[in-house]
Structures are given as C-alpha cells and as structure tokens.
C-alpha cells in the first residue's frame, strides 16, 4: 500500500462515507487518509462501513484545516462536481492519477474531497493546483463522496500498474508551504504599492491565487518570483517583514 497520495476528506457530515472511503482506498492500495473537521469521528457507522479497512480508518489523521492536511505536500488536486470557468485547470481522473504518481515520488501529493452538501469552498479550491471532474450523466452529475474516492483511487492503481499508458505528467510543483508564503509575499507587496486594497482584495486575491495554481510553479520558480517581489520592495524603499 502507498502513502504517497493523501486522500483528504473535508467537512464530511456522514460517518458512513468516511468508512466507505477508507474501504475504497484499501481496495485500491492507498493508505493515507486525512480528515478535516469531520462532523462525527470516530463513529461506529464509519467502522462498520469500513469493513476490512478498519485498520486504515483507525490510522486516519484528523486535522482542523486544509493547510494542516496538505502540509509537506507538493501537488494538490481538488474535486468538483460543478463545471468551472477557464480560471481553473481541469483534469479527468485518469490524467490526475498520472500527475499524482509522477509528482509524489519526491514528496506526498493530495486529493481533496469536499463535504456532501456543498463540496469544497472557493478558498479551499484556491489551495489546489488543478481540479478533478468525473464525467457523469448530465441529468444527475453529483457523485457520493465515497464513490468519487473509489473512482480516483482506481485510476491511481491503474496508473501504477500501467505507467506507460499515462499522459506525460507535469514537473514537481513547489510545496504547499512555499506557495502559501508566495501568496503572503505577493499580498504584502501589492498592498504596499497600492495595487491591492480593501475595495478589490476580495476579488483580486483569489484570481491571482488561481493564476499561480494554473502555472504549477516549481520550487526554483517560486524563489524567482519571491526574489522579484523582494527587489520591488527594496527598489521602492518598502520595509520588509
């Protein structure tokens, strides 16, 4: 079983879905389950639905935030039942599996699954490099969260077994902590030069985060961008923090 890809369930309200997701993961050889703010866990229903995967369920990590769930990760993908506009890079589960396996060789990767009612919030999607969408009948496109976990884990297993059939993956992206630091640095500089202000920050900030996520910068590229921002601070006599 592999811990290279984390399955992250966010705000799961039904404990049975947690257990079913754990079972789906074990069926497909994945073992790293992270729960963000589960409504009810541990729970007897989760254990019952996990069936033979009770050991994986017992080893699950419970954390209070997305940032804690993806700490140490490189590639982070989110799942979405809704069609998104061109500001998001969209992948099907097969393409996503290839990228997840390729980039998780040097650091863990993560896939985020939102809660049953509303899915992932916009600020949670902003932590993702790209979104996974599973095609379904247009008359009823919404999958149960455990079903979605099953599909994604199946594609990961198949990509492991047949690596030559997978599309060419992207390069190793910068870690979640590096990207968060870049976002904070960019915010600080844009605020100090007057480009970002209370009147536009709510719209501008998430669009810039999505732009950087689509680019999937690696660690060296993040250092270049932060070096540019530092040069702007110095040239404009802006105090550094």
CATH code of the domain occupying 176-235: 1.10.8.590
Angle, CA 88 vertex, CA 84 and CA 222 arms, to 5°: 160
Enter the CATH code of domain 2-165.
3.40.1280.10
pLDDT in tens, 100-141: 998 888 889 999 999 998 899 988 888 899 999 998 888 887
Cα dihedral sign, 14-16-19-25: negative
pLDDT score for 85: 58
Question: Which carries the bigger pLDDT value, residue 118 or residue 166?
Answer: 118
Provide the CB-side half-sphere exposure for 4 (13 A, CA): 18
Q: Do domains 2-165 and 176-235 have the same CATH topology?
A: no
* Length of the chain, in residues: 241
The pTM of the full predicted model, rounded to 2 decimals, is 0.80
DSSP annotation of 166:
S
Question: Do the beta carbons of residue 176 and residue 140 sit within 8 Å?
Answer: no
* In the chain, where the domains are located: 2-165, 176-235
Rounded Cα–Cα distance for residues 22 and 6 (Å) = 12
DSSP structure class, residue 129: S
Residue with tokens 């047949």: 162
Residue pLDDT, tens place only, 2-43: 789 999 999 999 999 999 999 999 999 999 999 999 999 999
């Amino acid at each position: 079983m592999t811990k290279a890809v984390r399955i992250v369930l966010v705000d799961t309200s039904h404990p049975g879905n947690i257990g079913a997701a754990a079972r789906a993961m074990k069926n497909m050889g994945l073992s790293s389950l992270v729960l963000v703010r589960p409504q009810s866990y541990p729970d007897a229903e989760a254990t019952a639905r996990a069936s033979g995967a009770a050991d994986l369920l017992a080893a699950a990590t419970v954390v209070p935030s997305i940032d804690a769930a993806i700490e140490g990760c490189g590639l982070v993908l989110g799942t979405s039942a809704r069609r998104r506009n061109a500001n998001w890079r969209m992948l099907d589960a097969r393409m996503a599996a290839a990228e997840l396996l390729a980039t998780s060789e040097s650091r863990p990767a993560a896939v985020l699954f939102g809660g049953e009612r509303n899915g992932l919030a916009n600020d949670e999607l902003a932590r993702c490099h790209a979104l996974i969408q599973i095609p379904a009948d247009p008359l009823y496109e919404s999958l149960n969260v455990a079903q979605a976990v099953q599909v994604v884990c199946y594609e990961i297993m198949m990509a492991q077994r047949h690596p030559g059939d997978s599309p060419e993956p992207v390069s190793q992206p910068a870690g979640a902590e590096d990207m968060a630091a870049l976002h904070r640095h960019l915010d600080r500089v844009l605020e100090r030069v007057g480009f970002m202000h209370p009147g536009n920050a709510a719209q501008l900030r998430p669009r810039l985060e999505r732009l950087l996520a689509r680019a999937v910068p690696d660690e060296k590229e993040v250092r270049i961008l932060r070096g540019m921002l530092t040069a702007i601070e110095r040239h404009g006599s802006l105090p550094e923090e």
